[in-house]
A = this chain, B = another copy of it.
Amino acid sequence: MNIGIFGTGIVGRTLGSRLIDVGHSVKMGSRTQGNANALEWVATAGDQATEGTFEDAAIFGEVLINATNGEGALAALTSAKAENLANKTVLDVTNPLDLSHGFPPSLSVSNTDSLGEQIQRAFPDAHIVKTLNTTNCAVMANPQSLPEMHNAFIAGNNDEAKQKTRDLLQDFGWPDEWIIDLGDITASRGTEAWIHLWLRLMQHFGDANFNLHVVRP
């Protein structure tokens, strides 16, 4: 499947490489064609890796992944153009981190709203699915790297888009029973807020190589 990824940081490159490894074709989009990160990634990720603008990636992808930083998300999707997002599944893996006051960051939107909802409101014809923002990109892309069961979450308004997201998560290695559907896009408030605890755990452990498992009877 053709997948467009917005963002050339570590998250976009890690997810892009993994998707190519499992048989997909990926175009990485950034503000300008020929972004240095994107070119370096294309050079190492194999024949199915290409790069271009946000708009190029949006046109290319049957499914899209927003892997920009939270601050740049709305601008990136605006640059990709609403008509290129319409009726497409857009995985949003970002968190609205506000690093302007040091570490740990706060969130630039929280509590009664979320970045997932902001994006859905800005692009009402796109099918936004908030997912994978609850863990580090190495775990997102290779969940079997942890030794026990743990969970991913999906939240969105469109059931077909959520099924496509489940399928893509399974390609990454997430068994279907590890994926918890939290309901509509407002549940992004829950998964984005978890980052506050995630950040404290990262400080405690000294690395980001962990995830949560919801234990039930």
Residues of A within 8 A of B (CB): 101, 106-107, 110-112, 134, 145-150, 153, 155, 180-183, 187, 189-201, 203-205, 209-217
Contact = CB atoms under 8 A, between A and B. Distances in A.
A181 B204 contact: yes
Nearest to A192: B196
A200 B194 CA distance: 11
The copy count of this chain in the complex is 2
Contacts of A211: 214-215
B204 A199 contact: no
Nearest to A143: B215
Given A181-B204, A182-B201, A190-B196, 4 more contacts: A106-B112, A147-B217, A182-B200, A211-B215
A147 B215 CA distance: 8
Contacts of A112: 101, 106
Contact of A215 (B101, B107, B150): B150
A189 B186 CA distance: 21
Q: Can you list the 9 inter-chain pairs with the closest CB atoms, starting with the nearest?
A: A193-B196, A190-B197, A190-B200, A193-B193, A150-B215, A190-B196, A213-B213, A182-B200, A210-B216
